[in-house]
Amino acid sequence: MQDTIESNIKDKDLIDTRRREIVNAAVELFVRKGFHQTTVREIAREFGMSMGALYDYIRTKEDILFLVCDHIHTTVSNKLKESVVSEKTGIEILKNAISDYFIIINENQDYMLLLYQETKSLSKAARKYIFVAENELTSIFEDILKQCIKEKTVRINHRKTKLVANNIMVIGQMWAFRRWVLRDNYSINSYIKTQTELILKGII
């Protein structure tokens, strides 16, 4: 998705590095002030870059939301695909995938919060990209659950895999959305342990 954002810079590695730094600076401002209240000039100032230099890497504030989505999708997708490539049983792969997913959510809480708060600010095409990316991630959990069905280690049928997979996605995201109350009783590790037990209890 990053390739769809125009840049005056030809060095791809430099583009990736600068965009990651710009996004980190911008997300902090967006969370503190709000997406619409934050100006591109403030983002440039936060990053320590001139407006002209900033526009070498992005064109609009909306580009930053694209990059946030791209970062989350790529990070989660790569990690979950690593979990799937294993000689372990489906149930063990599922446990590892849930843990990996929740940990990534924990490491990118502000990104997740911003993305879901401001999806409405994006164009129709951009929102479509986000929905497609979400479905791709959800399908990874669906495939793991189908492996469990094949191994006869769960009591759900194929029709329910999509619902269970979506439940896992939402439970992970809840750590970011409801962190202000969950942190009173859970660390990320205890949250993963408790939620994994509840998920498995519903399907085994």
Q: For 19-68, what is each residue's pLDDT tens digit? A: 888 888 888 888 888 888 888 889 888 888 888 888 888 888 888 878 87
Q: CA angle, 116 as apex, 112 and 122 as ends, to 5°?
A: 120
Please check whether the domain covering 2-61 is classified as CATH 1.10.645.10. no
The answer, yes or no, to whether residue 187 has pLDDT greater than 50, is yes
Q: Are 25 and 47 in contact (CB under 8 A)?
A: yes
What fold characterizes domain 62-201? Tetracycline Repressor; domain 2 (1.10.357)
In this prediction, residue 52 carries a pLDDT of 87
Instruction: Decide which of 140 and 25 is more confident.
Output: 140
* Burial class of 190 by CB neighbour count within 10 A (0 to 12, 13 to 18, 19+): exposed
Q: Which residues contact 174 (CB under 8 A, 6 or more apart)?
A: 182
CA 128 vs CA 74, 108, 112, 121, 140: distances in Å: 16, 22, 17, 13, 19
CA Rg, the chain, in Å? 19
**pTM, rounded to two decimals:** 0.82
Domain boundaries, the chain: 2-61, 62-201
| 193 pLDDT tier (thresholds 50, 70, 90) | very high
